[in-house]
Amino acid sequence: MILAKVIGNVTKAACHPGLETARVLICEVLDQNGNATGKVLGAGDWIGAGIGNEVMISADGDACQAFLKDSNTPLRNVVVGIVDSRGGKAI
């Protein structure tokens, strides 16, 4: 899974029909200590993550099938969890 922070969202001018109802968030990937890496991903969101939330993104398409009606939608990243807190020592 990918640890990321939601920094914004995207409105679509045109998209694959399966993605019409999808809410696409712009998430910045975090490293293990929670620092931003500058890498940006677009993830589908069906659980209501807001801007500024730390989220966990699944990078496998099969996980998206549970959220999608159209099975041949080309979506790979989906927000599957909102992070409450992270423990462990900084590496």
Can you give the binding site for another protein, defined by CB under 8 A? 7-16, 19, 24, 26, 28, 36, 38-43, 61, 64, 71-77
Tell me how many degrees the CA angle 44-49-50 measures, rounded to the nearest 5. 120
Closer to another protein by Cβ: residue 38 or 88: 38
Smallest separation, CB 89 to another protein (Å): 27
Three-state DSSP at 55 gives strand
Unique residue bearing structure tokens 């939330």:
53
Nearer to another protein, 61 or 81 (CB): 61
Q: Which two tokens stand for residue 72?
A: 């041949």
